[in-house]
Amino acid sequence: MASRSLVAWACLLFVLLLLAFGGAPAEARPAPGSRHRRVVIAPTPTLISTNAAADESTVPFNKAAFSVHRKLLAENNKPPKAAAPPESSGNINVESYGAAGDGRSDDTKAFLNAWAKACSSAEPTVLLVPAGKKYHVKEIPLSGPCKSEITFQIDGTLVAPEDKSDWNKQGYPHWISFTNVDRLTVTGKGTLDGTGKSSWKNSCRTNHKNPCTFAPAALTFTSCNHLKVHNIKLLNSPQVHLLIQYCKDVELTSITITAPSNAPEADGIHISHTEDIRIIKPVIKSGDDCLSIATGVKNLYAYKVECGPGHGISIGSLGKDNSDAQVSNITIDTAHVTGTLYGARIKTWQGGSGYAKEIKFLNMIMDKVKHPIYIDQYYCNQFDPLKPKPCEEQKTAVQISNVLFKNIKGSGTTKDVISLHCSKSFPCQDVILQDIDLKMKGGAKKTMSSCENVMLKQSSNVFPAPCTSVATKNDHVPEDSSD
């Protein structure tokens, strides 16, 4: 105890000496333009209300804070830390970077510049697109790695170019795409309007004489780990609305996707090569799959899905062009599917390899769905007039196993409401049907179930009784435009 008070006295003496000689220890004086860490309130992840101009300005030397600091220094009797590097945190508003938001000007550059600033910031940043305005932007590739967390807050409307010539012709075009950005959050009450009409008109699905080309996905995430996307609305994408690939740990909450039922290839959410995904309460109306779960997807949980119109909730297609597929641990829990071609579907091509396993479709209400429960291992959907249809039976197929359809009720618009069409060489294994009640719309005609090469593990409380008819390949639903 005696030695501690001795130290305290020594410190006090030291401080008094300092005060007497009017000098502060050089290293304790904050460098101009920096706030001293030890006396500033801890940085919070969302600093609000500074704009870009303020970020660049110097912070005035704070006398009061400095004297507090000196007191702390005396009490702790520790050497002061080196001054913190300049901070450039807070809100970045795209308008501070020249975005006009007038619905006419090209705001692409402003967005790119604002992103560059956010991405190089050492502190967490909110990149704001203000509400109530329309920003015309062409393709904007936003890439990382970034120095800190970014929240892309879209409150206004982004509008894509209508003119096709504005899209990149090399490879697969993307409208707004994020690559290599970890811990990104995209949120806000705003809308991404893909103005897809002209692309839909040129699609080979709309007119089979057109060559099959790629049109842009509206919003793409590639190699983004710990990604969150909340609340935003996607409208009329040229093709896929939300594309997620090569990511890990993804959370999608309350996303709204809207396009007409005749928008070709306009999947709602298409995911490939991604692990650990939670999709909560999406509302998806479009012209293709509401959810499309492609190869490389593992550990996906979707809850409270509103789907339709569209082509339903799909695993696949898998195994195209003799490719290898790997999909496992997929749960769709609670879904309302209305006015779609399919409800719960798994689709694979002949000639593929790999697996689709541990798949659960639970608690689904089907409302006027053409084919509510559907496994198709003879999926074939080739519109390119230059290519022959690769539909013939082949020696290999993606192995489907361990699939549960449970508590699925409602109405179909064709008789065959439970169709399980598996491959001859790789029959489906361990398929379970439980608590199913599917009637024809209006309740008039009796429904039935067709099966082919499927090993049902068990089934209980299923109406219509599973596999009442053994299908032949001729029973297949023609795939024309009803992909």
Residue 359 CB, nearest distance to ligand NAG (Å)? 11
Residue 327 CB, nearest distance to ligand NAG (Å)? 12
Q: Which two tokens stand for residue 257?
A: 């996707």
Contact criterion met (CB below 8 Å) for 185 and 208: no
* Binds ligand NAG (CB under 6 A): choice among 301, 306, 382, 440: 301
Q: Is residue 66 close enough to count as binding ligand NAG by CB under 6 A?
A: no
- Of the pair 175, 405, the CB lying nearest ligand NAG is at 405
- Of the pair 234, 300, the CB lying nearest ligand NAG is at 300
- Of the pair 182, 333, the CB lying nearest ligand NAG is at 333
Give strand ranges (E) for 273-427. Answer: 275-280, 283-285, 291-293, 297-307, 313-318, 324-338, 342-348, 353-369, 371-376, 399-412, 416-421
Contact criterion met (CB below 8 Å) for 379 and 315: no
User: Which stretch in 24-32, 126-134, 295-303, 420-428 sits in contact with ligand NAG by CB under 6 A?
Assistant: 295-303
Residue 292 CB, nearest distance to ligand NAG (Å)? 17
Amino acid at 357: K
Contact criterion met (CB below 8 Å) for 242 and 255: yes
DSSP summary character for residue 113: H
User: Which stretch in 82-90, 210-218, 294-302, 464-472 sits in contact with ligand NAG by CB under 6 A?
Assistant: 294-302
Could you give the CA distance from residue 224 to residue 248 in angstroms, rounded to a whole number?
A: 7
- Of the pair 158, 294, the CB lying nearest ligand NAG is at 294
Q: Is residue 253 close enough to count as binding ligand NAG by CB under 6 A?
A: no
- Of the pair 146, 327, the CB lying nearest ligand NAG is at 327
Q: Is residue 334 close enough to count as binding ligand NAG by CB under 6 A?
A: no
Contact criterion met (CB below 8 Å) for 385 and 428: no
Residues 395, 318, 388, 312: is their CA dihedral positive or negative?
A: positive
Residue 231 CB, nearest distance to ligand NAG (Å)? 22
Contact criterion met (CB below 8 Å) for 368 and 337: no
Number of residues counted as binding ligand NAG (CB under 6 A) = 5
Q: Which residues 6+ apart lie within 8 Å of 203 measured at CB?
A: 210, 212, 215, 264, 265
Q: Which two tokens stand for residue 384?
A: 């390119």
Could you give the CA distance from residue 341 to residue 312 in angstroms, rounded to a whole number?
A: 7
Residue 243 CB, nearest distance to ligand NAG (Å)? 20
User: Which stretch in 1-9, 230-238, 299-307, 402-410 sits in contact with ligand NAG by CB under 6 A?
Assistant: 299-307
Catalytic: which of 36, 136, 174, 311?
Answer: 311
Q: Is residue 396 close enough to count as binding ligand NAG by CB under 6 A?
A: no
- Of the pair 215, 227, the CB lying nearest ligand NAG is at 227
| Residue 311 annotated in active site | yes
- Of the pair 301, 463, the CB lying nearest ligand NAG is at 301
* Binds ligand NAG (CB under 6 A): choice among 299, 394, 425, 429: 299
Give strand ranges (E) for 233-341. Answer: 233-235, 242-245, 248-253, 256-258, 269-272, 275-280, 283-285, 291-293, 297-307, 313-318, 324-338
Residue 300 CB, nearest distance to ligand NAG (Å)? 6
- Of the pair 263, 330, the CB lying nearest ligand NAG is at 330
The bridge status of strand 225-230 relative to strand 248-253 is: parallel
* Binds ligand NAG (CB under 6 A): choice among 62, 180, 202, 329: 329
Half-sphere exposure of 349 (CA within 13 A, CB side): 21
- Of the pair 182, 276, the CB lying nearest ligand NAG is at 276
Contact criterion met (CB below 8 Å) for 101 and 128: no
Q: Is 120 left (phi over 0), alpha (psi -120 to 50) or beta?
A: alpha
Q: Single out the residue of 458, 463, 407, 398 nearest to residue 428, CA to CA.
A: 398
Q: Is residue 363 close enough to count as binding ligand NAG by CB under 6 A?
A: no
Residue 298 CB, nearest distance to ligand NAG (Å)? 8
Which residues face 350 on adjacent strands? Answer: 397
Q: Is residue 326 close enough to count as binding ligand NAG by CB under 6 A?
A: no
User: Which stretch in 45-53, 153-161, 293-301, 428-436 sits in contact with ligand NAG by CB under 6 A?
Assistant: 293-301
Residue 270 CB, nearest distance to ligand NAG (Å)? 18
* Binds ligand NAG (CB under 6 A): choice among 331, 396, 407, 468: 331
Residue number of the CB atom closest to ligand NAG? 301
For the annotated catalytic residues, the residue numbers are 311
- Residues of this chain that bind ligand NAG (CB under 6 A): 299-301, 329, 331
